[in-house]
């Protein structure tokens, strides 16, 4: 199991605290420092069953600078979104847990973290 975190994020810290309390074995990836490649982002999206715009923090300053709110959300624009996430990792929603069964969850709630633990 791996968790993508930003240590400054309270939801990330809560998720890590819950994983620790449950005695889970996991690897921490500080994705702002160890930036995921476009291929890794695509793989996580496949595991999540989501599209890149579904995990984009559209209220971040970089999102507004890029004008993401006006970008199409369709198959033809998917790679543009993936590239934006790889180039601006702060835009990636957090935390994301990749579970041992090959799935993944955006773990913003205790329930989502527990869901990942049960997989």
**DSSP designation for 107:** -
Q: Is 12 a catalytic residue?
A: no
Distances, alpha carbon 5 to alpha carbons 9, 32, 60, in Å: 8, 8, 16
Q: Which helix (H) or strand (E) holds 111?
A: helix 110-117
Query: Which of these is catalytic: 3, 4, 6, 9?
Result: 9
**Is the link from the previous residue into 95 a cis peptide, with omega within 30 of 0?**
yes
Which residues carry out catalysis?
Answer: 9
């Amino acid at each position: 199991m791996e968790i993508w975190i930003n240590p400054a994020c309270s939801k990330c810290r809560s998720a890590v605290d819950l994983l620790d309390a449950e005695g889970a074995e996991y690897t921490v990836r500080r994705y702002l420092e160890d930036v995921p490649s476009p291929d890794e982002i695509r793989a996580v999206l496949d595991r999540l069953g989501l599209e890149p715009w579904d995990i984009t923090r559209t209220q971040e300053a970089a999102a507004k600078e890029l004008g993401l709110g006006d970008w199409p959300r369709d198959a033809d624009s998917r790679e543009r979104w993936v590239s934006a996430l790889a180039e601006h990792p702060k835009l990636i929603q957090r935390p994301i847990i990749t579970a041992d069964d090959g799935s993944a969850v955006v773990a913003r709630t205790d329930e989502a973290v527990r869901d990942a633990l049960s997989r």
